Structure 1
Amino acid sequence: MNGTKIHIFDTTLRDGEQVPGCKLNTKEKVQLAEKLEALGVDVIEAGFPISSPGDFQSVQEIARIVKNATVCGLSRAVQKDIEAAAEALKPAKRPRIHTGIGTSDSHIKSKFNSTREDILQRAIQCVKWARNFVDDVEFYAEDAGRTDNEYLARVVEAVIAAGATVVNIPDTTGYCLPHQYGEKIAYLMNNVPNIDKAILSCHCHNDLGLATANSIAGAMAGARQIECTINGIGERAGNTSLEEVVMVIQQHKHLGLYTGIDATQLNPMSRLVSDTMRMPVQPNKAIVGANAFSHSSGIHQDGFLKDTSTYEIIAPEEVGAESSKIVLTARSGRSALAYRFLKLGFEFNRNDVDVLYDRFLQVADSKKEVEDADLATLAKSYKAETVHA
């Protein structure tokens, strides 16, 4: 494909699983990993091996079964963590250790009771430990969103020199505005001398509802990997939504970017994750919500029926969704009513529709949505009247 590829790093099985009540067993993780690989993700973050025997086993099993995607295991900047990740990843064809430490002054002082220089040395050391086991090492600068850019650039330069192949710039608290996050990535691209030897990665949280916007801003500024989850699940308000960044990139071809994701699998994948993790998807969720391709306003319905592109920039088939829906409510108009009657096999002229519309509104005012059964009753009753008349 033309343009620059954005690598999709899926962390549904690690960061997404941190949602209360969404814990997965090994069998469930393996099933989702197989589907994620079929979806076309480039990297599957399979878990945090040191955290529990169950997570170690899950990472190990996923490492065995995944054939094409990189399999990644998380660790802290602790030697035992890194050794556990390396052991769990041994069966992987393309193993990656993801290690790192907090770099913001808030984390350095409050979390580690340390200094910038000490954190810098610990960052270098953890990358060197990881490189003893694998060639592909990703370093995360936790809370990079609130880290001073000049210091962050020093850390990024040092970990690349130590052997990091990918450097993750997380907006851990979802604090950044899109222009701020984009400027941070641009600053690193322009001020880290060895930046050409590694890929910058966006890992944005959604505390202010800006995760997708920030990730796209990062990619526009030079990042070449986006870390995300199916349905945007994750800690607190969630992570960047995979389906959103993929479709933003697909829709805005002028950005000169593309992904390897098979968009037609997005809705089936969303439902599988929702069912497996027992985490419902909000109806108005972009791309995969139940209402994403539903139209209930009369003005919208009329325009949509004349030309779908008036109110839909994505065809439902593009993302594996069912066909668009004309939902009949008290806000619907005559064109939508006539359309739905026709779909049910009832053809009426304009005068008939005018009469039926008044009766329809009486039903619509008494319930939230007018169903096919209600319409059939109205149509049959009206036809019986006109026959006898």
Structure 2
Amino acid sequence: MKYSEKYTRGYFMPPVQSLKWTEKEYIKEAPTWCSVDLRDGNQALIVPMNLEEKLEYFQLLLQVGFKEIEVGFPAASETEYAFLRTLIEENLIPDDVTIQVLTQSREHIIKKTFEALQGANKAVVHLYNSTSVAQREQVFRKSKEEIIDIAVTGAKMLKKYAAETEGNFQFQYSPESFTGTEVEFSLDICNRVLDIWQPTADNKVIINLPATVSMSMPHVYASQIEYMSDHLSYRDHVILSVHPHNDRGTGVADAELGMLAGAQRVEGTLFGNGERTGNVDIVTLALNMFSHGVDPKLHFEEIPSIISKYEKLTRMRVHERQPYAGELVFTAFSGSHQDAIAKGMKWREEEERQHWTVPYLLIDPMDIGREYEGDIIRINSQSGKGGIGYILQQSYGIDLPIGMRESFGYHVKSVSDHKHKELMPDEIYDIFIGEYVNIHTPIEFIRFKHTQNGHYETSVSIRMNNEEHECMGIGNGRLDAISNAVQAKLGIDYTDLVYKEHALEIGSKSKAVSYVGIRANNGIVFWGCGIDTDIMTSSVKALFSAINKMVVSLQLLIKKEYSHSIK
């Protein structure tokens, strides 16, 4: 691309190597989660939530299990202020939940923030000011010492107003635009704030290091976090927090590596809502941990209902390919994927394995409220015989023989291709019934009788062209005798009769299903299926369904050859 030379790497590596985080394999315990949906996510909405919607969203966050929730910027608008007062005055905040509010380092804003917090049982007051080179030079046009003075002055005001206000308050400081700030300067300004607040074991302080704009690869952010973690004053009394944005599409990776590097707390939103490309997606982060066998301490057992409420209140949409939550993320259209999933599910059922190892499925969809039927395998022109067979088996209890799966699979794919659409399970079932089950034209089976004398002798009644005929045959079994009788009567020939039967497990359990495959002289295998309350009758119906398909095919072939000969 043109003009790449105009861009430079605006981040700063730590002055010493910070790579201990690379020795860790995975995140072994959940961090403290703080939802910023109601502040950072809300301000990013085209139409911000009103008071009633914010109250409903707050209840959703409680149901998910958040113990820290940023409820807004109470000095910014009347809605924000009224929301906070409603939560406090109507006693809507559970005893084990801490609310958080944001404030700039300006006295009139800090004063109004504490007015809004009057009587709060537990609240984090989050102070921030921007520290990056770009902000210092272009926006504030201030020196480093002047930027430090803004932070220190704000820290002192928080202590002053907290002492004068009824409530229980914890302090948090963010050097906003941390990722564009020299790491040594970030350390200096954070330590100067900590010196004002003097944290203790009983009164810890949160230092939040936001990727306000994601500027580097995730390993750089991790090294920055580790350096800060190793050199912050009062470290044992500091809760180190990260707040990654997703400008480079690496918000989740930034958060995960940040936790490996020492972060104990993560601020983010459901499904990554937020300014520009959004905040880090806490759903993805939490379920990534879940996929490693770690309890994330949040409740996503019913993802569909969470999505429904989220979309209603934010007027945003969860994308179909959103990790874990998207409508299609557990869905396979590819034939090879479908086959592997179907076999993996069957293997898991047979082996009764403790751990989830199904190919292509990172976690069991059932664990987050998704259904196997219609979620895992969906059918279009790219699908394969394994997936199509899986749909019939899971949804309707029809377990096709392997060869029949291939024959039916090609037929279904052709229908999907011509219609240019995905086929739903009921459509696939209807195609199967119409093409394979109890076919009675041009030859209709009426009845049969057997006698046994070392072998089976049979009499079969059939109807063709509105006339009834009797067929006589002998065979090693009842179906073999009927097959021989029909071949002799009609003057047709086929070999390699394949037979399978089972009880219909879904729907009417009193019915039996039979499948028959026959190979014509031209090598083509024709399949038929019979369904009946009597297992033998279902077998005969399956045989006649296969014979009818063969006869019709041969008639069409003869007609086609005759047409060519006329020309």
TM-score (norm 2): 0.65
- Displacement of 1:3 in angstroms is 5.6
Question: Which structure dedicates a bigger proportion of its chain to helix?
Answer: 1
Q: Distance in 2 between matches of 1:327 and 1:358?
A: 15
SS in 1 for 2:275: coil
More off after superposition, 201-210 vs 342-351:
342-351
The equivalent of 1:65 in structure 2 is: 92
Is 1:311 equivalent to 2:360 in the alignment? yes
Q: Which structure exhibits the higher relative contact order, with contacts defined as CA atoms closer than 8 Å and separated by 6 or more residues?
A: 1
Q: Distance in 2 between matches of 1:57 and 1:69?
A: 19
Contact 1:72-1:89 at 8 Å conserved across structures: no
Counterpart residue identity of residue 348, structure 1: L
Is 1:375 equivalent to 2:428 in the alignment? yes
Q: Distance in 1 between matches of 2:266 and 2:304?
A: 20
- Structure 1: which 4+ aligned runs deviate by more than 4 Å? 2-5
Q: 1:218 aligns with which of 244, 258, 263?
A: 258
Counterpart residue identity of residue 415, structure 2: V
Q: Distance in 1 between matches of 2:292 and 2:156?
A: 39
Q: How many aligned residue pairs are there?
A: 385
* % identical equivalent positions: 24
Query: Per-residue displacement from partner, 1:122-181 (whole Å, max 9, x unpaired)?
Result: 111212212331530111111001110000000111112222710111111121311111
* Cα RMSD after superposing both structures: 2.0
Q: Structure 1 regions of 5+ residues with no counterpart?
A: none
Q: Distance in 2 between matches of 1:320 and 1:91?
A: 39
The equivalent of 2:65 in structure 1 is: 40
Is 1:327 equivalent to 2:378 in the alignment? yes
Query: Per-residue displacement from partner, 1:351-384 (whole Å, max 9, x unpaired)?
Result: 4333322221211212231122321331121214
Please say which structure displays the higher CA radius of gyration.
Answer: 2
Q: Structure 2 regions of 5+ residues with no counterpart?
A: 1-26, 163-167, 200-204, 346-357, 440-527, 529-543, 549-567
- Displacement of 1:22 in angstroms is 4.0
1:37-116 equivalences in 2 (<5 Å): 37-63=62-88, 64-67=91-94, 68-116=96-144
1:148-227 equivalences in 2 (<5 Å): 148-163=182-197, 165-227=205-267
TM-score (norm 1): 0.93
Q: Distance in 1 between matches of 2:233 and 2:253?
A: 27
Q: Distance in 2 between matches of 1:128 and 1:355?
A: 77
Change (3 A) 1:347 1:245: closer
The equivalent of 1:145 in structure 2 is: 179
SS in 1 for 2:421: coil
Change (3 A) 1:202 1:92: same
The equivalent of 1:29 in structure 2 is: 54
Q: Distance in 1 between matches of 2:329 and 2:295?
A: 23
Question: Which structure dedicates a bigger proportion of its chain to strand?
Answer: 2
Is 1:122 equivalent to 2:174 in the alignment? no
Q: Distance in 1 between matches of 2:279 and 2:191?
A: 26
Change (3 A) 1:233 1:303: same
More off after superposition, 87-96 vs 225-234:
87-96
The equivalent of 1:252 in structure 2 is: 292
Change (3 A) 1:161 1:244: same
Q: 2:390 aligns with which of 339, 358, 365?
A: 339
Q: Distance in 2 between matches of 1:227 and 1:280?
A: 21
SS in 2 for 1:139: strand
The equivalent of 1:283 in structure 2 is: 320
Q: Distance in 2 between matches of 1:319 and 1:40?
A: 15
SS in 1 for 2:284: helix
More off after superposition, 278-287 vs 77-86:
77-86
